[in-house]
Amino acid sequence: ICFGLLAQRAATTRATIQRFLAAAPATALRVLDVNFRPPYDSDDILRESLALADVVKLNDAELAAVATRFGLPGSSEEDQAAALLADYSLDLVCVTRGAHGSLLVGKDGYVAHPGFSVKVADTIGAGDSFTAALIHQYLRGASLARIAEAANRLGTWVASQRGGMPRVDERTLDEIRA
């Protein structure tokens, strides 16, 4: 179940999303894709959402904001993401870094992936594609390095294409699925 903050900006949708998450089986993976959109980035809603999540994806600017607002210890992204993981009993925290790849922090450590260099055509859909590959590999039990490789590969490929939902070629799909 993938959910975020923007859809929770109204009390009715927030209550619906939170009831849905509470009613889902314990085995359901709950993925919070933060997506701050001021003024809809309430600390209370974020705390409630973090408490319901297993996996959290946020970008580097969002992590910096969360670290400041919640007083996360550490000066590095690795330390701040690890504190978030521990504070909310998360399984995985993913920090996207735009053209500079991503950072994945799990219970057994972390991996930083530098990303891939491409000519960017359109960033719409790149983050969601990244998340899709991240979840796919996570559910397969892949290592942090493999999760990061696949997620960065698909997100970068989508950013190199026009439109938010380009048809993915078989070679790229094979690389993501492996």
Q: What whole-number distance in Å separates Cα of residue 32 and Cα of residue 6?
A: 11
What digits encode the pLDDT tens for the residues 77-129?
999 999 999 999 999 999 999 999 999 999 999 999 999 999 999 999 999 99
Can you give the pLDDT at residue 39?
81
Q: What whole-number distance in Å separates Cα of residue 46 and Cα of residue 37?
A: 12
The radius of gyration computed from the CA coordinates of the chain, to the nearest angstrom, equals 16
Residue with tokens 């859809």, as numbered in its chain: 7
